[in-house]
Amino acid sequence: MEKVRGFEIAKGFENSGINMPVRKTKYSAGYDVEAAEDCIIPAFTLGQAPTLVKTGLKAYMPKDEYLMLCNRSSNPKKKGLVLANSIGIVDADYYNNSDNDGHFMFAFFNIKSEPVEIKKGECIGQAIFQKYFTIDEDVAEGERNGGFGSTNL
């Protein structure tokens, strides 16, 4: 069977017991993604960087698709967790990049007044594959040469 789109274990997580994302119902758009390890997300303070929660996963897809990383609808109310970038975008050329093998993570801020503990295997967000379109005059020729934040051309 030819691989079209899906998830794989990222380098360094091969023996970590990572579960592949799954859809919980037949009409779910998103694949539920779990945390790869325990972590603490501190209460927000001004100027603080978001906490990157590791998934231990990478995603492959056709060149005209991307993976959208979305928060769980219950995270803000129940845990005080919001995504720092509202949604995350994982481009097709992020897969197998030279910096981190395409390992995608969720960037969270904790808006509660106390730290939040995330346990390994806990569902932290959803991943949705999407097609995108380019305009008639598109001339993008740049090529990815690294991982997270490397396309600041």
Region 113-129 average pLDDT: 98
Mean pLDDT, residues 5-27: 97
SS3 labels along 89-121? EEEHHHCCCCCCCCCEEEEEEECCCCCEEECCC
Question: Among 2.70.40.10, 3.90.45.10, 3.30.830.10, 2.40.170.20, what is the CATH number of 8-21+29-131?
Answer: 2.70.40.10
DSSP 61-94: --TTEEEEEEE-TTIIIII-EEETTSSEEEEGGG
Q: How far is CA 117 from CA 46, 64, 109, in A?
A: 20, 36, 12
Which residues make Cβ contacts (< 8 Å) with residue 28, sequence separation at least 6?
Answer: none
Distance CA 117, CA 86 (A): 21
C-alpha 110/C-alpha 118 separation (Å) is 11
Mind listing the pLDDT tens digit for each residue in 54-97?
A: 999 999 999 999 999 999 999 999 999 999 999 999 999 999 99
Q: Where are the domains of the chain?
A: 8-21+29-131
Instruction: Report the pLDDT value the prediction gives residue 15, as an integer from 0 to 100.
Output: 97
> Would you say the pTM of this structure is higher than 0.75?
yes
Above 80 in pLDDT, residue 143?
no
